[in-house]
Structure formats: structure tokens, C-alpha cells
Amino acid sequence: MPVFGLTGNLASGKSTVLGLLAKKGAAIFDADRLIHNWYRDSSTGIYKKVAAVFPQVCRDGFISRKDLGSIVFHDIRKLRRLEKIVHPSIINELKNWATNMRKRKVIAVAETPLLFEKKLENIFDAVILVYVKKDILIGRIARHHRCSKHYALKRLEFYLPIKEKAKKADFIIDNSANRASLIKKVDTLWKVLKKAK
């Protein structure tokens, strides 16, 4: 069975789309949630490695993602150092999951925020891009992360331009409107994905 990658910029609604697809019966892989689980378990290798490099972000047995983000998204060298710790493990998990999913009779979708940035297209049979108009996206980032619009723009610099992603994607969902509109678009997408069996 085909395996689909789901990607998009920060605060574009990837997790919402993933959740909607899961409710329809898709098998899902949530890279962000897996990393979050590692950060909350001090016995994991990822936790120990991150804690060793960034001890100031440890809080009573868990890693504060907010504190970690405030460090790495202001220093590209520190961000790359964090990525060297986390990304090999998450990519390995993703590849194993995709291999297993292809053996099952189920539509499989993996949320992978940096799919194009890390050149992971070859893991998937097709890629779904969640798109939001820039001015709307900046407002959403600022509200969600309780930050300034200037900081929101800085965060977007770590992603490929959306126009480049759109050229590479097989399916595009515009999430610039409201939830009702998004649900209708996911309904349409689901019908298309089912035909791709």
C-alpha cells in the first residue's frame, strides 16, 4: 500500500490534517509527537544526549521544548547540533514504519515537518503539502507561540519557501480559511488517497 508524507510550515495545520485523516481510518506517524515523548522520558537516549548538550532546558525529568526552541532558533549552529542528535533516530523510525505500512492494507500518512528540507521524499509514494497564506500564517505562529511577528518570520526562515515545496508536492491543501473549509478539503483528499491503493 502507498505511504504518504504530510508536510508544511510551522503552524500550517499539519497535525489537524493528520488527526482528520486518522479519524477516517488512516494509519499515522507523528514525528513531532514521537520527539515529544522522547523529551518527556529521561531514560531515552535522545533525552540524555539533548540534556548533555543543553542542560539548561531540563525541568524535573523532562526537556522544555519552549526553552530549547528559544535557544536553537536564535543560533543556527545550535539548531544543527540538535538536529544531529534527533534526526537520525526519527528518520530511522520513519523508514521502518513506512516499510511496515507498505505490507498492510491501509492508507498510511506520516507527518514530517522538514520532509523537503531534509530530502526525505524518497521514503514516500506521494507528498501532501498543507499551505497557508503568509500573512495568515505569521499571525497564527505569533498567537500559537505567543511571540512577535518578527520572531515568527525568523522561524519561517528555517523552512524552504512555500513556492518550492508546492512544486515538489503531489497534493496541496490550502488551510488559509476556517476549520469547516479544511474538513471539506480533507474529505476530498481522502477520496483521492483511497483511489491510490
Residue-by-residue DSSP string for 134-168: HHHHHHHHHHHHT--HHHHHHHHTTS--HHHHHHH
**Count of structural domains, the chain:** 1
Residue 169 in domain: yes
CA distances to 37, 94, 132, 160 from 166, in Å: 30, 22, 11, 10
In the chain, count of helices (H) and strands (E)? Answer: 9, 7
The structure's pTM equals 0.92
Residue 66 in domain: no
Residue 82 in domain: no
Residue 108 in domain: yes
User: Which of 140, 177, 158, 147 shows the shortest CA–CA distance to 70?
Assistant: 147
Residue 6 has pLDDT above 80, yes or no: yes
Contact 149, 142 (CB under 8 A): yes
What tens digit of pLDDT does each residue of 99-153 get? 999 999 999 999 999 999 999 999 999 999 999 999 999 999 999 888 888 888 8
* CA pair distance 193, 197, nearest whole angstrom: 7
Residue 51 in domain: no
Residue 121 in domain: yes
* CA pair distance 41, 32, nearest whole angstrom: 15
Residue 71 in domain: no
CATH number at residue 15: 3.40.50.300
Residue 47 in domain: no
Structural domain boundaries enclosing 94: 3-38+89-195
